[in-house]
Chain A
Amino acid sequence: MSVPNEFMNSEMQPPFIKRLNALDWVFAILLVVGSVYAFQKYSHLMDAYEVGILFGTAISFIAIGWLWKPARSLMFYVAAISLFAVNLYGNDLAAAETNFFLRFLFSAQSATMWMSALFVMATVAYFVELFSGNEFTGKVATAMTWCATAMGFIGLLVRWRETYLHGADIGYIPVSNLYEVFILFSIITALIYLFYEKKYETRSMGGFVLLVISAAIAFLLWYHFEKNASEIKPLVPALQSYWMKIHVPANFVGYGAFALAAMIGVAYLIKDKALKNNPNGAVAKRLPSLDMMDDVMHKSIALGFAFFTIATVLGAMWAAEAWGGYWSWDPKETWALIVWLNYAAWLHMRLMKGLRGVPLAWWAIIGLFVTHTENFNLSSFRA
């Protein structure tokens, strides 16, 4: 054979594990050490499922970090800062008022406020970049989105600790009320967006996606200031479930992805209109190609659909355990089914000729309203 073996050798992809670098391993070891430490310290308080969730989470975090390197840094900073803040608290909730770092930066309240401010500023910056084409502004927007996401995670993690400072028997994982899940929604949507931003190397969809996050932030702030929703209150027994601990985050990957698809749908329609009316205008030029947006929309809805399916099944298992039946057509369950069927229909539409493009974009936007009717109209949590 005349083909040099080196060529083939160079083409031979080493197995995934061998392609990991030192940082990857440090990251993984940190996570393992952390979860083993948590296990040793708290295993007497956990049941088998919770131990499963602990290590399952560690493993999935390692996987996410390995597959998507920026997540690795995010996790590192979030963990470090959260531990720092928790440490500052000690056993005294009042430290939130006296300690400088807690008061202005890292108490759950402050971190959430930073997240809110950063998301709103990032939205503006993305639009400025879109209209001016100024690359630097775009970079700032991306950086702000990353920081906002980190702050959101820090806020939730610190809040987790705060619930326990309110009383050992009150403590709960903060994905249990509407206030907390809106934070979760914002940061998950942002993370999915950041993933696509990198993958497609375009920032021109950022403003649209961040717009829906800003809307969520507006609601969050209203809820916080008008309804005092950020107050920590004990959970009713039905919510003290390990199913909830995975059900809710899975659900919000779904919501986040659907919201993202809807906003891409908006951008799609705008571009489509612009191409027809003024193909040489700035809007038509700056927005990504219809093809690409269609692709992102599909990927996003597929991701959302997959996680929403898991979440709905987990919800059924939770219901089976708390209410004695995995399906009882109660409004919450039924609305999840409606959302699910809606996106199943969307996915099938896409497989039919002639229905791609504008109709699907519209459908994705309507889907957002269908999805969130549930959050606003029906009480978000049963019991």
Chain B
Amino acid sequence: MNKPAKKHSRLNIVLEFLGSMNLAITILVAIAIASVIGTVLKQNQPYNDYIIKFGTFWHEVFQVMGLYNVYSAIWFLALLIFLVISTGVCVYRNAPTKLRDMQQFRVNVKEKSLRLMHNSESWSTEKESAEVENNIRHFLKLKGFRTRIKDHDDHHVIAGMKGAWNRSGYIFTHVGIIVLCIGAYLDGGFGLTIKEWTGRIVPETRDIRADQVPATARLKPEDSMAFRGSISLQEGTASNIVFLNIRDGYLVQELPFTIELKDFRVEHYSSGMPKSFESDLIIHDDQLKEPLKQTISVNHPLIYRGYALYQASFGDGGSKLSLQAWPFHSKKIQKIEVKVPVKEKRTLNTLIGKYTLEVDDFKVFNIFPNSEKEKAETGKKFKNFGPSFTFKMRDASGAAKEYHNYMLPVTQDGRRFYLTGMRSTVAEPFRYLHMPADNEDSLDRFMGFHALLHDQVNMKRIAQNSVRTAMGIAKKNDNNLQSDVVSSMMNLLTLFNQGGYIAIDRDIKQKVPKDRQVNVADAYVKILQNLLQNAYLALLKQDGVDVSKGVRDEDSLFFEDAITALAGIGAYGSPVYFQLTEFKQRESSGIQITRHPGQGIFYLGCLMLIVGIFMMFYISYQRLWVIVKPEGEQLAITFAGSGNRNQRDFANSFEELVEKVKQFTTEK
């Protein structure tokens, strides 16, 4: 052998390996296994989570292997490329055969090889060869075969073929895979990855304004082929950039046009679940004669200049809230107005130092399912608690608690309450303080009561009065005892104001021997109750309520509710209660913007794949051969066939064919 031939054969070996079925199956399985890892192991989590889960050693191993972001790991990309190469080689080697299969009738078959075929039969007839051949061809044509005949000197070969498209199915399928992989590759954003590797792009991690983001984190429209980014637009604002999230940072992608959000609407089911959300967009572009107006909604994007704009989410876009701050722990009723938009902060000077109010969210509806009882009473499945907002109060040390306040009083057991929920960590549910509303549905009486309890002077007088009444005339002059009782009343009140019954309980546990604790607690509660009742009566009188004939039921219920709420204020954690008085809602729409120039190619590949698969599976490719050979007075006929799919089916139909052909070639 000479050298070039050897080289050639080496190449052949490589091609054979790359195009081999073994390799194909191995790659398919390998990609499948890698994908299993990618779904079972949560991707792109903070490293700390992984360390806790796997320990440092395995964490290192997994990290080096790229198991935390399998789909962008180099070895995974290599597998995909390998699949494309393998399929490509496979097509390169097989396609010519398949094409030949479609065109060539193989009229040069030898009788011997026909006899060796699985489906083969021979017989002889006395009929004339031209007639036999004509009839056979005619018959095969009726059965859907295309036929060719060739005159070999001592015999004739008729070759028939059916379902040739089956063969091109192979080509469609496998070329389709290559095409769709190319499309997906174009959209994979690898250009960006390479730029990041080479350091030409550095994702920004600081939370700064978009126009301050340095050029290394900005992309011009022509810089990126494919991307997926998002932007949140408030009603009435516009943007010509989107943000691309990259791990813990982001890039600013500039767009060749400006998107304005004119209006945003959410519709709800009666259960309060969002039913649809849609945005009215206006596209401003120098290329347009006039701005393009279009409404987008979930599943109905706008495609413009190859950019697709999707409705992705919604949220508050800075609704303007007017709040009334009611300071707690003060003897004065102060009404302080605070105006703050959602997502903004305000610094407040309170009685116990500086606090920052951070408003997080605002909702117009709060819809909850009704209980069976409520359903029966109202005939409605759901109830609406109306507007609410959530915020944090952050103290000077930076610690914060989160709050959830409803704007309107909520009816519970026939009574009306202002609800405010508090929690210290996101993991807990909110615990709600129920502040009773007065006859005017306002908080005035409750807050008045609260202020009175903090008014030392007034409360002392009330305490003295109540002690005097309680002790009766007899001991009127026992001033020492009187002042002792008053001062312990005031102590109890202070404790109650600071931390409710819990604070009193704690105090008893500290100061009183164990065996007397229960008795003392009973006595304390009675004393305190007495004081609070008297304070409440004083408040009612001051409000002009006639209490001479006793306290009305509703007023005494109010008292119970107020005491419960007041007892909870100590643990509430905020020095102020914020009542929402007015709002101007402003919604924002989360819009996702993507560009996938490879999408068309990808879909083309998919189409080829599907068409090819159906051709391969559902067009059956069959070949038949008949050799007609004069042997003396007679004609020897050899009939054979092969089908590439469904051997059983083919064997059956071959048998039928043979019967028929035998019949008309032999019968007179």
Q: How far is the CA of A241 from the CA of B297 in the complex (A)?
A: 11
Q: How far is the CA of A323 from the CA of B28 in the complex (A)?
A: 27
Chain A residues, Cβ within 8 Å of B138: 8
A1 touches B269 (CB 8 A): no
A291 touches B648 (CB 8 A): yes
A335 touches B39 (CB 8 A): yes
Q: Mark A281-310, 1 if CB is under 8 A from B, else 0.
A: 000000000011001000100110110011
A324 touches B29 (CB 8 A): no
Q: Mark A352-383, 1 if CB is under 8 A from B, else 0.
A: 10000000000000000000000000100000
B139 touches A329 (CB 8 A): no
A interface residue numbers (CB < 8 A to B):
1-3, 7-8, 11-13, 167, 169-170, 233-234, 236-238, 240-241, 291-292, 295, 299, 302-303, 305-306, 309-310, 313, 316-317, 320-329, 331, 334-335, 337-338, 341-342, 344-345, 348-349, 351-352, 378
Which of A233, A234, A316, A337 contacts B275, CB < 8 Å? A234
Asked if B6 CB lies within 8 Å of chain A CBs, one says no
A322 touches B29 (CB 8 A): no
Chain A residues, Cβ within 8 Å of B301: 321, 324
Identify the 9 closest CB pairs spanning chains A and B, nearest first.
A237-B298, A341-B32, A345-B28, A324-B594, A324-B592, A313-B606, A324-B310, A331-B39, A329-B71
Show 15 A/B contacts (Cβ-Cβ < 8 Å), sorted by A: A1-B135, A167-B269, A237-B276, A299-B646, A309-B613, A310-B610, A313-B606, A313-B610, A320-B599, A325-B228, A334-B38, A337-B32, A342-B32, A348-B24, A352-B22
Asked if B1 CB lies within 8 Å of chain A CBs, one says no
A236 touches B274 (CB 8 A): yes
Name which residue of chain B comes closest to A321, CB basis. B299
Which of A167, A310, A321, A344 contacts B28, CB < 8 Å? A344
B596 touches A326 (CB 8 A): yes
B622 CB to nearest A CB, Å:
16
Contacts A341-B29, A348-B25 given; indicate if A334 touches B35 (C-beta within 8 A): yes
Chain B residues, Cβ within 8 Å of A237: 274-277, 297-299
Chain B residues, Cβ within 8 Å of A241: 299
B362 CB to nearest A CB, Å:
21
Q: How far is the CA of A303 from the CA of B613 in the complex (A)?
A: 10
B26 CB to nearest A CB, Å:
9
B131 touches A322 (CB 8 A): no
Q: How far is the CA of A352 from the CA of B184 in the complex (A)?
A: 30
Name which residue of chain A comes closest to B310, CB basis. A324
Q: How far is the CA of A13 from the CA of B663 in the complex (A)?
A: 18
A11 touches B25 (CB 8 A): no
Q: How far is the CA of A121 from the CA of B504 in the complex (A)?
A: 69
Asked if B273 CB lies within 8 Å of chain A CBs, one says yes
Give the interface size class of chain B: 35 or more
A309 touches B36 (CB 8 A): no
Q: How far is the CA of A218 from the CA of B140 in the complex (A)?
A: 52
What does DSSP make chain B's interface, helix, strand, loop or mixed? helix
Chain B residues, Cβ within 8 Å of A291: 648
Q: How far is the CA of A344 from the CA of B275 in the complex (A)?
A: 39
Chain A residues, Cβ within 8 Å of B308: 320, 324
A306 touches B269 (CB 8 A): no
B592 touches A8 (CB 8 A): no
Chain B residues, Cβ within 8 Å of A12: 142
Name which residue of chain A comes closest to B668, CB basis. A2
Q: How far is the CA of A1 from the CA of B36 in the complex (A)?
A: 67
Contacts A2-B127, A8-B142, A236-B274 given; indicate if A341 touches B28 (C-beta within 8 A): yes
Chain B residues, Cβ within 8 Å of A240: 276, 298-299
A359 CB to nearest B CB, Å:
12
A334 touches B39 (CB 8 A): yes
B239 CB to nearest A CB, Å:
17
B617 touches A302 (CB 8 A): yes
Chain A residues, Cβ within 8 Å of B663: 7
Chain A residues, Cβ within 8 Å of B71: 329
Name which residue of chain B comes closest to A291, CB basis. B648
B660 CB to nearest A CB, Å:
7
Which of A299, A309, A338 contacts B32, CB < 8 Å? A338
Name which residue of chain B comes closest to A336, CB basis. B35
Name which residue of chain B comes closest to A351, CB basis. B21
B436 CB to nearest A CB, Å:
36
Chain A residues, Cβ within 8 Å of B599: 320, 326
Contacts A11-B142, A341-B31, A352-B22 given; indicate if A322 touches B613 (C-beta within 8 A): no
B587 CB to nearest A CB, Å:
16
Asked if B664 CB lies within 8 Å of chain A CBs, one says yes
B310 touches A322 (CB 8 A): yes
A7 touches B664 (CB 8 A): yes
A277 CB to nearest B CB, Å:
26
Which of A8, A234, A345 contacts B25, CB < 8 Å? A345
Which of B187, B299, B668 contacts A238, CB < 8 Å? B299
A329 touches B664 (CB 8 A): no
Asked if B602 CB lies within 8 Å of chain A CBs, one says yes
A306 touches B32 (CB 8 A): no
Asked if B494 CB lies within 8 Å of chain A CBs, one says no
Name which residue of chain B comes closest to A299, CB basis. B646
Q: Given A12-B142, A320-B596, A325-B596, output 16 extra A-B contacts at Cβ < 8 Å.
A: A8-B138, A11-B143, A233-B271, A295-B648, A309-B610, A309-B613, A313-B609, A313-B610, A322-B299, A322-B310, A324-B310, A327-B184, A329-B71, A338-B35, A348-B21, A348-B24
Q: How far is the CA of A152 from the CA of B274 in the complex (A)?
A: 31
Q: How far is the CA of A345 from the CA of B28 in the complex (A)?
A: 6
A236 touches B273 (CB 8 A): yes
A316 touches B606 (CB 8 A): yes
Contact residues of B between 583 and 624, Cβ < 8 Å to A: 592-594, 596, 599, 602-603, 606, 609-610, 613-614, 617-618
Chain A residues, Cβ within 8 Å of B31: 337, 341
Chain B residues, Cβ within 8 Å of A292: 648
Chain B residues, Cβ within 8 Å of A295: 646-648
Chain A residues, Cβ within 8 Å of B603: 313, 317, 326
Contacts A169-B269, A331-B39 given; indicate if A345 touches B32 (C-beta within 8 A): yes
Chain B residues, Cβ within 8 Å of A337: 31-32, 35
Q: How far is the CA of A241 from the CA of B298 in the complex (A)?
A: 9
Chain A residues, Cβ within 8 Å of B606: 313, 316
B480 CB to nearest A CB, Å:
69
Q: How far is the CA of A329 from the CA of B72 in the complex (A)?
A: 10
Asked if B134 CB lies within 8 Å of chain A CBs, one says yes
Q: Mark B280-316, 1 if CB is under 8 A from A, else 0.
A: 0000000000000000011111000000101010000
A348 touches B28 (CB 8 A): yes
